[in-house]
């Protein structure tokens, strides 16, 4: 768990430090050289991001003190489970108790949960997943920003609206200065502490250029950088880690190798997984997952998707619906239902290591204005806001009608904070100044 409120350094233990947040202790990897016990820091995703001055930290903590516990109380109330439904849905209740006892559920159990179709049992599954979320993460909700730096793509993924299938799409590639300005605005004006830099697989920008951009960001701004540039090669991953990137967002899209090969001409699932494994070895925080509702996908393969994400040491699960794009070979196919997506997230909450964060994806939000709330009440605890300059967003056209596409970052932040407060959740990757 990571709060974007300052924590107080309590102790050092090798490369780890212990940080105190209103009496709760968390461990974080420290890469700053000048840190002492008693200093205040912002930590994100288990990494110390930046040191905070004493006066600023103390005034921020003062602002947070009461709200912090008030929000926790609202959230705690929201997860109360009716004893009646617990008695009625014995199987789900039993699996929930198993997870609470620290034991993992089996493949058959994952399958059972994915097969639930009665409205009452599904509702209970969502409540139980919400309870499990609260037990391990309390009311924290990660709010990351994403900046889409290029839509110029050499790949032909069958579902993707910025693939080479989309012949008449205007292509862009933000310059280094444009990227630095977008990062500056996200960090300094809006308070983001964790940012994803995302791009299509753009042959027009070298790993050297990406490394230079990341190194400049790390030098100028206190922010945790996730990269999401597709398959940049194992050496590319090493170079960008050395430049300062600490997270990788790379979905494996499907765990079914034949379906993967069919949808990604010239590519293989093995190659994709090799990137994810290497990134994990290098120490990147792994954000991965799959698409839900691809043609030819089975329940078994979706169950396997959840397991595979776990095997890849996922830090944050990014699993969202396929949304058809008219300029691709999958045009006209249906998206999965909002309920089916929420069910996947809930089952993932049961099946994965309890520490895993689960994202409500923009794709999911695109299916329904209710999706975000629904996901957060079914085991999810993370959202991503679009910090790409507004004029570029429509061109990052992976699927039509993307949620929040035209909303300014201010509007997205305000909307998110309001919704989170209503649910009793505390945003943990934005500074208090932005609330
Ligand atoms: N529907 C939903 N998600 C999509 N992506 C690409 N195209 C689509 C689509 N049509 C997702 C892929 C990719 C991420 C950047 O966008 O999962 O990993």
Q: Supply the pLDDT for residue 431.
A: 62
Whose CA is closest to atom 2 on ligand 1? 322
CA 321 to ligand 1 centroid distance, Å: 8
- Ligand 1 pocket test: pick from 363, 366, 397, 403 the residue with the most ligand atoms within 8 Å of its Cβ: 363
Whose CA is closest to atom 7 on ligand 1? 160
Helices (H) and strands (E) in the chain, counts: 16, 16
Does residue 288 sit in helix, strand or coil?
strand
Tokens encoding 177: 């200065």
Q: Is the CB of residue 291 below 6 angstroms from any atom belonging to ligand 1? A: yes
Ligand 1 atom having least distance to the Cα of 398: 7
Residues 6 or more apart whose Cβ sits within 8 Å of residue 65: 22
CA 132 to ligand 1 centroid distance, Å: 28
Q: Supply the pLDDT for residue 3.
A: 59
Q: Read off the pTM.
A: 0.96
Instruction: State how far Cα 230 lies from the chain centre.
Output: 16
Which residue intervals of 79-118 are DSSP H helices?
A: 83-88, 90-100, 107-115
Residues 6 or more apart whose Cβ sits within 8 Å of residue 270: 257
Q: In 3D, which of 407, 388, 405, 398 has the Cα closest to residue 169?
A: 398
Does residue 79 sit in helix, strand or coil?
coil
Residues 6 or more apart whose Cβ sits within 8 Å of residue 255: 269, 290, 301, 304, 305, 307, 308
Q: Supply the pLDDT for residue 85.
A: 79
Burial 121-147 (b: 16+ CB within 10 A, else e): bbebbbbbbbbbbbebbbbbbbbbbbb
Q: Supply the pLDDT for residue 430.
A: 65
Q: Is the CB of residue 292 below 6 angstroms from any atom belonging to ligand 1? A: no
Q: Is the CB of residue 159 below 6 angstroms from any atom belonging to ligand 1? A: yes
Q: Is the CB of residue 160 below 6 angstroms from any atom belonging to ligand 1? A: yes
User: Given 3-state DSSP classes, what are the helix, strand and coil percentages for the chain, each rounded to the nearest 5?
Assistant: 45, 20, 35
Q: Supply the pLDDT for residue 399.
A: 98
Q: Supply the pLDDT for residue 80.
A: 87
Q: Supply the pLDDT for residue 320.
A: 98
CA 434 to ligand 1 centroid distance, Å: 29
Ligand 1 atom having least distance to the Cα of 399: 10
Show pLDDT as tens, one digit a residue, over the chain (435 residues).
Answer: 345 789 999 999 989 999 998 888 889 999 898 899 999 999 888 899 999 999 999 998 898 888 888 999 999 999 988 878 778 999 999 999 999 999 999 999 999 999 999 999 999 999 999 999 999 999 999 999 999 999 999 999 999 999 999 999 999 999 999 999 999 999 999 999 999 999 999 999 999 999 999 999 999 999 999 999 999 999 999 999 999 999 999 999 999 999 999 999 999 999 999 999 999 999 999 999 999 999 999 999 999 999 999 999 999 999 999 999 999 999 999 999 999 999 999 999 999 999 999 999 999 999 999 999 999 999 999 999 999 999 999 999 999 999 999 999 999 999 999 999 999 999 887 665 433
User: Can you give the three-state secondary structure of 290-331, one letter per residue?
Assistant: EEECCCCCCHHHHHHHHHHHHHCCEEEECCEECCCCCCCCCC
CA 98 to ligand 1 centroid distance, Å: 34
Q: Is the CB of residue 402 below 6 angstroms from any atom belonging to ligand 1? A: no
Whose CA is closest to atom 13 on ligand 1? 251
Q: Supply the pLDDT for residue 1.
A: 35
Q: Is the CB of residue 251 below 6 angstroms from any atom belonging to ligand 1? A: yes
Which residue intervals of 320-407 are DSSP H helices?
A: 338-351, 362-367, 371-376, 390-393
Q: In 3D, which of 77, 97, 79 has the Cα closest to residue 87?
A: 97
- Ligand 1 pocket test: pick from 148, 155, 159, 396 the residue with the most ligand atoms within 8 Å of its Cβ: 159
Q: What pairs with residue 435 in β-bridges?
A: none
CB 350 within 8 A of CB 96: yes
Tokens 């305000």 locate to 414
CB 197 within 8 A of CB 225: yes
Does residue 264 sit in helix, strand or coil?
coil
- Ligand 1 pocket test: pick from 398, 399, 402, 405 the residue with the most ligand atoms within 8 Å of its Cβ: 398
């Amino acid at each position: 768990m990571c709060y974007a409120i300052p924590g107080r350094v309590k102790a050092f233990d090798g490369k780890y430090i212990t940080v105190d947040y209103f009496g709760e202790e968390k461990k974080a990897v420290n890469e700053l050289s000048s840190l002492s016990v008693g200093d205040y820091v912002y930590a994100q995703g288990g990494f110390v991001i930046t040191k905070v001055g004493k006066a600023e930290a103390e005034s921020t903590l003062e602002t947070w003190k009461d709200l912090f516990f008030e929000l926790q109380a609202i959230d705690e109330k929201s997860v109360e489970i009716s004893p009646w439904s617990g008695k009625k849905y014995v199987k789900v209740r039993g699996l929930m108790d198993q997870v609470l006892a620290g034991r993992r559920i089996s493949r058959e159990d994952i399958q059972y949960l994915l097969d639930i179709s009665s409205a009452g049992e599904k509702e209970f599954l969502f409540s139980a997943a919400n309870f499990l979320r609260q037990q391990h993460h309390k009311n924290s909700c990660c709010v990351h920003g994403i900046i889409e730096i290029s839509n110029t793509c050499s790949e032909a993924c069958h579902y993707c609206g910025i693939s080479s299938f989309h012949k008449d799409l205007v292509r862009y590639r933000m310059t280094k200065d444009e990227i630095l300005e977008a990062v500056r605005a996200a960090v300094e004006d809006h308070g983001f502490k964790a940012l994803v830099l995302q791009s299509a697989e753009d042959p027009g920008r070298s790993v050297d250029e990406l490394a230079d951009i990341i190194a400049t960001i790390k030098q100028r701004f206190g922010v945790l950088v996730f990269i999401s540039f597709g398959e940049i090669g194992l050496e590319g991953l090493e170079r960008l880690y050395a430049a300062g990137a600490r997270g990788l967002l790379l979905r494996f899209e499907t765990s079914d190798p034949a379906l993967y090969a069919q949808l990604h001409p010239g590519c293989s699932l093995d190659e994709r997984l090799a990137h994810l494994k290497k990134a994990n070895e290098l120490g990147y925080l792994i954000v991965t997952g799959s698409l839900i509702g691809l043609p030819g996908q089975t329940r078994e393969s979706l169950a396997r998707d959840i397991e595979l994400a776990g095997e890849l040491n996922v830090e944050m699960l990014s699993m969202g619906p396929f949304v058809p794009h008219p300029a691709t070979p999958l045009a006209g196919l249906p998206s999965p239902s909002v309920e089916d997506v929420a069910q996947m997230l809930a089952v993932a909450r049961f099946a994965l290591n309890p520490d895993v964060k689960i994202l409500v994806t923009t794709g999911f939000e695109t299916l329904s204005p209710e999706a975000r709330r629904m996901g957060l009440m079914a085991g999810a605890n993370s959202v991503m806001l679009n910090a790409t300059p507004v004029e570029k967003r429509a061109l990052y056209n992976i699927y039509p009608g993307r949620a929040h596409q035209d909303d300014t970052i201010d509007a997205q932040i305000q909307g998110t904070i309001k919704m989170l407060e209503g649910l009793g959740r505390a945003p943990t990757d934005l500074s208090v100044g932005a609330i």
